[in-house]
Chains A and B, each alone.
Chain A
Amino acid sequence: MRVALFITCVNDTLFPGTGQAVVTLLRRLGCDVEFPQAQTCCGQMHVNTGYPAEGRRLARHFVDVFASYDAVIAPSGSCAAMVREQYPRLARARTPATAAAGVSFADEVAEMVPKVYDLSEFLIDVLGVTDVGAYFPHRVTYHPTCHSLRGLHLGDRPTRLLEQVKGLELVPLPGADECCGFGGTFAVKNPAISAAMCSDKVSNVAATGAEVLCAADNSCLMHIGGTLKRQRTGVRIMHLAEILATTEVVR
């Protein structure tokens, strides 16, 4: 099985440690992962802000880069959801660009979609593991993020993985299924509401007494983490992959 890592532009640029953790974790589980150099961005920011033409170009590029792989792992719920939910719509919409690309783009997307996995889906549904041999002796709370929860329907996969981590104390997050207020460009287009939502999220995180806030999406974590830091709460943010990659040996 040829497995590709779709690092996502946000992780590539701002959170390389998450990508390194995915590579470490998968290697430890005996899965060799490739990094196709031509990858860039899934196009979510463009599409969700109202620029579908640019988004469609990036979708075309994504399919070109990843079509030959058997599985594509994205350590980001919202980027994986972008491919799964929005690519079929983008490919269906008839424009001069898609017409030039031929009717087959919709078919290519239909073939691509089932091969794209969020990290926790790949670990549990494909590799069949919940205990990844991690050790992380800290109090952790988990924010499920909207696109992981309602877009990908990850369900309890991430928390099942966390529950198997040695030493980790998982504490439930009140109001977990509520949005943190990031929403991509929403955060700057509607800053007052975005900040109010995040403030409530941060209060809930602080109420858990957790040392670490974990999620499967760094863009949401960047938002909540930025507020946690501004409010000097002392709570750290960590991507799910980073916790799962940590072992006693490494420490």
Chain B
Amino acid sequence: MSGGDTFLGMPAFPVNAAAAVQDSQLRFNLRKATHTIRAKRATVVGELPDWLELRQAGKEIKDHTLRNLERYLLQLEEAVTAAGGHVHWAADAEEANRIVADLVKATGETSVVKVKSMATQEIGLNEALQAEGVTAYETDLAELIVQLGDDWPSHILVPAIHRNRSEIREIFQDKMADWGRAAPEGLTDEPRALAEAARLHLRERFLSTKVAISGANFMIAETGTLVVLESEGNGRMCLTLPETLISVVGIEKLLPSWRDLEVFLQLLPRSSTGERMNPYTSTWTGATEGQDFHLVLLDNGRTQVLADKVGRQALRCIRCSACLNVCPVYERAGGHSYGSVYPGPIGAILTPQLRGMSSELDASLPYASTLCGACYDVCPVAIDIPEVLVHLRAKAPHPRAERLGMRAAGWVFNSPGRLAGAQRLGGRFRRFVPKHLPGPLSAWTNTREIPDIPAESFRDWWNRTDGGAR
């Protein structure tokens, strides 16, 4: 349910958000979850006296890699091939899906297990495989909840953040049997019980499935090594047990050398789960004994983003989701409002760049922010999200009425005389300003009073009193 096509025809962000903000259960779930992770992150980041230096190093390593992307990608390809892996290049979602589907079909299997991966969600891989008669089973706990619930992910790190445990219990109870081993009798909503139900359900799947699909958090160009960070150990199961492993990875996930990992293994867990270190870090280089390995390198709009001098900083993103957890807009609108697998502040700058701004939804995303700057403050690779938002707003299509209004305002502001004239006009008619304004401005007066218009502007006061001297 999470592919690119899923979001086709969705209304603009303000419409989605206005509906979501009315859902008090969602508001409660999101507030509780984001504030919890936010506090954990603040604590573990605060522990590191050199956090700002680490952040700067992360930014510079990523910028260096992106500047030399072609060289490092070729180096990676060579290293992976030398280690017995097969490298495939995919220009877009369709090509990536085709490559993966063909690889799976060549094994003769009709089911695959999946490690949590944003790239495969971005390209709608599960749906594409389904169309080819292959069932993809999500094995990350939160992704399992989303898949069983026939739902969409609403957060990068915790895709089921919009669900509380009693909702999860219901989903397990009702849907697990359709996908494999049923939920145990008398399942409660205790976290332990829910985790145990998922463990029993998934264990059968791990032991019986011969093909796995993953993404990767990092790829090391120097050695051809892929790296996955996770919490649950399901990733380790998928990466090691099956006979065939296919990894679909965005081309920006590259790092030049092992040494660079030192920086990112500190930045990522502290920023995303608020832990000093993630429980599982798996690394593998090429094919290992008894396992075929395929790496699908995915562009899908990334080189186009790279061409934009301001927008390209979005490619530094390591998908930690710290920006989502501090965003007051995300907290109230929820992830689904963004109509993309990338929600929140990073989604608001990534989605319009990857997909373009031809749909009403995508054109509204750069405006889904107050530019409060909380996202930039917490970003571990210093992506200046407000800067990119403003940059994209300049490229977005503007409504005609707004264009005219902005032009008129510009005309007034271009001359101090015209501004003073407008102020005097406002002062003269101040008693006639209605309590409820018409048209788009009613959006203001629906919930707020408008300020009293003073009889005299500051500049008129200054001139009348000679700066208060008279």
Contacts and interface: CB of A to CB of B under 8 A. Distances in A.
Contacts of A183: 369-372
Interface stretch (B112-120, B164-172, B235-243, B451-459): B451-459
Secondary structure at chain B's binding surface: helix, strand, loop or mixed?
A: helix
B149 to A, nearest CB: 25
Contact of B332 (A16, A49, A197, A227): A197
Nearest to A237: B451
B258 interface: no
A147 B369 contact: no
Nearest to B310: A89
Interface string A218-249: 00001101110110000000000000000000
Interface in A26-65: 27, 33, 35, 37-41, 43, 45-52, 54, 57-58, 61
Contacts of B467: 23, 33, 35
B333 interface: yes
- Interface range, B side: 35 or more
B449 interface: yes
Contact of A146 (B332, B373, B396, B443): B373
Contact of A192 (B18, B422, B440, B463): B18
A179 B449 contact: no
A192 B17 contact: yes
A49 B458 contact: no
Interface in A153-180: 177-179
B447 interface: yes
A14 B416 contact: no
Interface of A: 7, 9, 11-17, 19-20, 23-24, 27, 33, 35, 37-41, 43, 45-52, 54, 57-58, 61, 86, 89, 146-147, 150-151, 177-179, 181-199, 222-223, 225-227, 229-230
26 contacts: A13-B422, A16-B457, A20-B468, A23-B467, A23-B468, A35-B462, A40-B419, A45-B409, A50-B398, A51-B394, A51-B410, A61-B414, A86-B390, A146-B374, A177-B374, A178-B328, A178-B372, A179-B328, A190-B17, A191-B444, A192-B17, A193-B14, A193-B18, A197-B328, A198-B448, A226-B450
Given A50-B394, A150-B372, 11 more contacts: A7-B459, A33-B467, A46-B406, A49-B393, A57-B414, A179-B370, A181-B328, A192-B21, A196-B21, A226-B450, A229-B449
